Amino acid sequence: MNAEDFPAETVAQVIPLNAPRAPEPERNSLERSVASGLAFLRRRLSGGYDVDEFGFDPDFNSTVIMPLARLLYQHWFRVELHGLEHIPEKGGALIVANHSGTIPLDAGMLQVGLHDTLDRHLRLLGADLVYQVPFLAHLARKSGHTLACPQDAARLLDKGELVGVFPEGFKGIGKPFSERYRLQRFGRGGFVSTALKSNVPIIPCAIVGAEEIYPILGNVKTLARLLGLPYLPVTPTFPWLGPLGAIPLPSKWIIEFGEPVHTDSYGPGAADDPMLVFNLTDQVRETIQQTLYSLLMQRRSVFF
């Protein structure tokens, strides 16, 4: 049987002459990535981007930092977010979270989650040590971090920004694995005073999963002091595996935001009342601790 035995209209029905070419998702994705990269370079060379007074560079953050952090967020830690209804769509608010993980990846995961779900930038408050390391300080400021001081926090909140703070500081991220999910001291409640002065809500945030990414089995304190570090951890993979020891374990993460603690009902001078500040600090800490226990009970396993 030859091709001429088929009517032309039948052939056209089977194989349309104007049939579109099959989509090429991989090629299109590559083309978009290349175009996005070239546009980014063009903006950097021409100065077509903005940096705020704190050094935050939204263009650099969204194009360079966020895509890298998003890979961990979506595919490595598989983060689940709960309680997003407690985050205001606009206006200032102070998110207070537990801190852990040896390397503070929980800060980056919080930023990705809020950026991708609510399209809000989380402005994180960092410790002094972060800004004493040249490259790290530059990167931190470009990603929206600033020094953890009341003045900077108040300025950001008064501008309507979403601000994040980890009151445990290095005590939280450097604690041994045997003390996982047990909150350390929250300091003197400086974050509560700042929220009271700015009349913004305090939103407790519990993070489960970060404790297992680099379980601290020991701490070489003497060498840490010599190097000027708050701790020098020994984990199941570091220093035994060398650079490979820097790869975090793929634990399953859950982040839950609790009901806001509203501060606008307190009168002027509330931030100067030490008992009120102490009670609110303890209330926020206890809320986060109880939420951690609840999430741990719900979690099926560390890695799934």
Q: What is the pLDDT of residues 213-226, one digit of tens each?
A: 999 999 999 999 99
Q: What is the mean pLDDT of residues 116-138?
A: 91
129 pLDDT higher than 90: no
CA terminus-to-terminus distance, the chain: 59
Domains assigned to the chain: 53-213+248-298 (3.40.1130.10)
Per residue in 178-195, pLDDT tens? 999 999 999 888 999 999
Whether the pLDDT of residue 64 is over 50: the answer is yes
- Could you give the C-alpha distances from 296 to 165, 207, 213, 291, 299, in angstroms and in order? 22, 10, 15, 9, 5
Q: Please state whether the predicted TM-score (pTM) of the whole model is above 0.85.
A: yes
Amino acid letter at 199? N
Q: What is the mean pLDDT of residues 7-16?
A: 46
pLDDT grade for 232, boundaries at 50, 70 and 90 = very high
Cα 14 to the center of its chain, rounded Å: 53
Q: How far apart are CA 295 and CA 256, in angstroms?
A: 8
User: How high is the pLDDT of residue 12?
Assistant: 44
What pLDDT does 11 receive? 42
Contact by Cβ (8 Å): 167, 187? yes
Q: How confident is the model at residue 277 (pLDDT cuts 50, 70, 90)?
A: very high
> Which residue's entry shows tokens 């307190």?
266
pLDDT of residue 26: 61
- 282, HSE (Cβ side, Cα atoms, 13 Å): 6
Strands (E), the chain: 80-82, 93-97, 122-126, 146-147, 162-165, 202-208, 218-219, 233-234, 254-257
